[in-house]
Amino acid sequence: MKIRIIGSCGSGKSSAAMMLSMRYGIPFYEMDNLVWDRTFPENRRRPEAERNAMLLEIMNKDAWIIEGVHSAWGLESFAMADLIFILHPHVLVRDYRILRRFFRSRTGIEPWNYKQSVRNLWKMIVKWNHGFDLADTLELTSEHSAKRYIVRSREDMDVHIRSRFGNVTAAKSV
């Protein structure tokens, strides 16, 4: 099973990928972690060739869940996916999630991939959430509309997975 999840900041992509990974025993990958090398104190952008090679290695596996809004450079992942989910909860739900994540990560309650800043919070809400264009995403994935679903929640994804694959269970632990 190969699943591609796309959505705005705060849509729940990472949480959904993690939940599906645990439920079905399929590894999940965050595209942000392909773009950014997190081994440095300050994240560094990976060279395109390295990032592309990492994505290709993942896509060549038998099963995967890839989540991320990075889409233009990862178009092959849409073609190779069995299912594409555009995760699109209400904008205010996304705002709330972004704010909750910001405060939880800044206070140390919830670890995060990078240090959250007020400047970054502004970008997440204004540019990456309110600026997310569903029409552009639909256009980008139009070639794969037969396997693409706009969903509001992880539970909606599960319904489509069961519809497509039946009552699948975890093949192995992740």
Give the residue from 29, 79, 33, 74 showing the smallest Cα distance to 52: 74
Whether pLDDT at 170 is above 70: no
Average pLDDT over residues 95-99: 88
Q: Is residue 84 part of a domain?
A: yes
pLDDT at 107: 81
Q: Is residue 20 part of a domain?
A: yes
Strands 36-37 and 28-30, sheet pairing: unpaired
Greater confidence (6 vs 101) lies with 6
Q: What is the distance between the terminal CA atoms of the chain, rounded to a whole angstrom?
A: 14
Model confidence, pTM: 0.86
For residue 79, the enclosing domain spans 2-89+134-165
Mean pLDDT of the chain: 88
Classify each residue of 3-30 as buried b or exposed e, where b means 16 or more C-beta atoms within 10 Å of its C-beta: bbbbbbbbbbbbebbbbbbeebbbebbb
pLDDT at 87: 95
pLDDT at 101: 83
Q: Is residue 94 part of a domain?
A: no
- The β-bridge partners of 67 are 5, 30
pLDDT at 114: 64
Q: Is residue 104 part of a domain?
A: no
State how many domains the chain has: 1
pLDDT at 173: 44
Continuous segment of H or E residues that includes residue 70: none
Average pLDDT over residues 141-169: 92
Q: Write the CATH number for 56.
A: 3.40.50.300
Q: Is residue 171 part of a domain?
A: no
Whether pLDDT at 146 is above 90: yes
What is the spatial distance between Cα 22 and Cα 17, in angstroms, rounded to a whole number?
9
Tens of pLDDT, residue by residue over 36-88, are 887 877 778 999 999 999 999 999 999 999 999 866 788 999 999 999 999 99
Tokens of 55: 């994505």
What is the spatial distance between Cα 74 and Cα 56, in angstroms, rounded to a whole number?
9
Helix (H, G, I), strand (E, B) or coil at 7: strand
User: Dihedrals φ, ψ of 15, to 5°?
Assistant: -60, -45
